[in-house]
Structure 1
Amino acid sequence: MEQTSRLITPERSSHGWINGLIGVLIFSGSLPATRLAVLEFEPVFLTVARASIAAVLGLALLWLFRARRPAADQWWPLLIVAFGVVIGFPLLTALALQYVTSAHSIVFIGLLPLATAVFGVLRGGERPRPVFWLFSILGSLLVMGYAFAQGLSAAPAGDLLMLLAVLVCGLGYAEGAKLSRTLGGWQVICWALVVSLPVVAPLTFILAPASFEGISLPAWLSLGYVSLFSMLIGFVFWYRGLAQGGIAAVGQLQLLQPFFGLALAATLLHEQVSLGMLAVTVAVIACVAGAKKFAR
């Protein structure tokens, strides 16, 4: 199979950054929406329900566009993607948001670029320059420093769950981006959702509440957002961007996600966003330029 991603031209790189930015913008609403949803939906049910809804839509897209079936050696990577981004990250963040606010959890997303870059090296064969790691690690240390300054003892379970979520998500991002080089960006997330369907669909019915009476409109809208945008549409742009511009390089755009997410948390959920949180976010964003410059 042709490894087109090895030839990252300036034009492909530009397209990759544009697609990646669109994906990040879409993902930025995930944690605030999840925070709203877990106020009224049980976290495990929310995880399997959003995956089931997205999987049905993904299956329809695969059938509509008559997408080719993955090769035999692509099924295992698809299982890794499903474990990381279809089940692992949504479940762990939904559980974490029972202990911490969405504004606090969003700060941990600043660790995703480093996790994605590491897995990009391990799974994608990329080799960023040493200075790249300096900027990426600096951004991550700023995030972790802020988290410790807030006192992890206040909600250690929530912070640990968020750290685990970042790790499995970074793995899923890198594996999906690598697979997108040969299978295609939207096909990867659709097939990963389909792979998870035999597990999440039965669990959705088993774990469904006895009655949906009393579930508010914001909770339903949040479920719709995380199902359609966070679980499907966002990945179409994100995996395409990672494949076009490089996993480690485009992955640094995730440093912008806390900024967008904090704005949403303050606007929609009326959560307190401190000056310290904003300062850390701005400092982390400043690391994007340096990391981008030395990614290759």
Structure 2
Amino acid sequence: MKTRDETLGMWLGVLGVAIFAVTLPMTRLATGTQAAPQLSPWFVTLGRAALAGVLSVIFLLATRSPRPQRVHWKPLGMAVLGNAIGYPLLLAYALRVVSASHAAVITALLPLVTAACAAWVLHQRARLGFWLCAIAGSALVVAFSVLRAQSHGSGFGFEWADVLLVGAVVAASLGYIYGAQVTPALGAERVICWVCAMALPVTLPGTLLLWPAQPVAASAWVGFVYVGVFSMWMGFFAWYRGLAMGGALRVSQTQLLQPFLSILAAVPLLGEPLDVVTLGFAAAVVATVVAGKKLSQPRAPLVAAAASR
């Protein structure tokens, strides 16, 4: 039963990552480009959390969910700071200075940092082989991001914005882990609902203040609704439950697939090309995730191994 739960948790993690992966092209649809701007990036950031917060309040009232106990407020508060406020705000400030490809190099380390936070906060342990696979997978993603940055003529050098990007990665990772910490007690759905509802005092006024005064294309509103309903809300239903069932340390490594799934989603949504190099790196990253899952299992006791001979 435990193995079955861990496998289901891994698949739920993949589903959550797939939902999060579409966030990038959908956000591009929502914000538009410099030549054809649509919704303000700040409006999209605060508005998606506010939309998720309103849906969360409806869900909590409809299901007559009990209020979290006192012991749950700290993890929920950390998840608010990490996932609803810290990550998007730090990322937005950093992207005023560096390119998106530069930011991708740093944020590609999210799975490894999440695993480290799981080991620190939740005291989850894994064999050395798992950590080697995690490092190898992260190195593949970073190498891929660097190659793409160079092919687009963007260099990679240290800037003060890198500190903000590292802070964004740490904020998101801590938010994931603290949310997973209270998932067994509250349930995955209620965790993200309480997180979004708690952020409403900040996100709702901000959304109303930044409401667009100019006409916006229908495709931009479609992108906005997606990032509010799926990226900020429903995706966490699967993600938090996957972290809790499969182990946050192991399931976090499915995030290695997110950059590549984003590229795949951008093909039909934005018309971006798909190349063989991308597919090759994606296959290699998948291999590290599979190997890491196998190596995360504890060794069989020597007594049991001897008895089975």
TM-score by length of 1: 0.87
Unmatched 5+ residue regions in structure 2?
Answer: 33-37, 298-309
After superposition, where does 1:93-172 map in structure 2 within 5 Å?
93=91, 100=99, 110-149=108-147, 150-151=149-150, 153=155, 160=162, 162-172=165-175
CA distance in 2, matches of 1:117, 1:236: 19
For the 8 Å contact 1:80–1:172, the answer to whether it is kept is: yes
Residue 89, structure 1, aligned to residue 78, structure 2: no
Aligned with residue 193 of structure 2, among 190, 194, 205: 190
Which residue identity lines up with residue 54 of structure 2 in the other structure?
V
Query: Which shows bigger deviation, 157-166 or 169-178?
Result: 157-166
For the 8 Å contact 1:109–1:255, the answer to whether it is kept is: no
CA distance in 2, matches of 1:245, 1:30: 24
Residue 179, structure 1, aligned to residue 182, structure 2: yes
* Distance of aligned partners of 1:278 and 1:95 in 2 relative to their CA distance in 1, 3 Å threshold: farther
For the 8 Å contact 1:38–1:97, the answer to whether it is kept is: no
CA deviations 1:3-52 (Å, max 9, x no partner) are xxxxx811211221222222122111111111222222222221111111
In the TM superposition, residue 224 of structure 1 has moved relative to its aligned partner by 0.2
Residue 10, structure 1, aligned to residue 3, structure 2: yes
After superposition, where does 1:33-44 map in structure 2 within 5 Å?
33-39=26-32, 40-44=38-42
CA deviations 1:43-65 (Å, max 9, x no partner) are 22211111111000001101110
Partner of 1:294: 295
Q: CA RMSD in A?
A: 2.5
In the TM superposition, residue 268 of structure 1 has moved relative to its aligned partner by 1.4
For the 8 Å contact 2:56–2:193, the answer to whether it is kept is: yes
* Distance of aligned partners of 1:47 and 1:158 in 2 relative to their CA distance in 1, 3 Å threshold: farther
CA deviations 1:176-213 (Å, max 9, x no partner) are 1111122211111000111111111111122223x141
In the TM superposition, residue 157 of structure 1 has moved relative to its aligned partner by 7.1
CA deviations 1:131-179 (Å, max 9, x no partner) are 1000001111122223334346369779836544332211111111111
Identity, % of aligned positions: 39
Residue 261, structure 1, aligned to residue 254, structure 2: no
Residue 23, structure 1, aligned to residue 16, structure 2: yes
Aligned with residue 64 of structure 1, among 46, 62, 65: 62
For the 8 Å contact 2:104–2:145, the answer to whether it is kept is: no
Which residue identity lines up with residue 174 of structure 1 in the other structure?
I
Unmatched 5+ residue regions in structure 1?
Answer: 1-7
Query: Which shows bigger deviation, 245-254 or 229-238?
Result: 245-254
* Distance of aligned partners of 1:106 and 1:253 in 2 relative to their CA distance in 1, 3 Å threshold: same
Query: Which shows bigger deviation, 217-226 or 86-95?
Result: 86-95
In the TM superposition, residue 279 of structure 1 has moved relative to its aligned partner by 3.0
* Distance of aligned partners of 1:203 and 1:157 in 2 relative to their CA distance in 1, 3 Å threshold: farther
CA distance in 1, matches of 2:197, 2:8: 28
CA distance in 1, matches of 2:102, 2:272: 10
CA distance in 1, matches of 2:89, 2:276: 30
Query: Which shows bigger deviation, 34-43 or 68-77?
Result: 34-43
In the TM superposition, residue 77 of structure 1 has moved relative to its aligned partner by 1.2
In the TM superposition, residue 250 of structure 1 has moved relative to its aligned partner by 1.3
Which residue identity lines up with residue 86 of structure 2 in the other structure?
G
CA distance in 1, matches of 2:221, 2:94: 20
CA deviations 1:112-149 (Å, max 9, x no partner) are 22111111011111111111000001111122223334
Partner of 1:242: 243
Which residue identity lines up with residue 62 of structure 2 in the other structure?
L
CA deviations 1:221-261 (Å, max 9, x no partner) are 00000000001100011101110110011111112222221
Which residue identity lines up with residue 174 of structure 2 in the other structure?
L
Partner of 1:4: none
* Distance of aligned partners of 1:92 and 1:262 in 2 relative to their CA distance in 1, 3 Å threshold: farther
CA distance in 2, matches of 1:110, 1:148: 11
Bigger Cα Rg: 2
TM-score by length of 2: 0.83
Partner-residue secondary structure (3-state), 2:126: coil
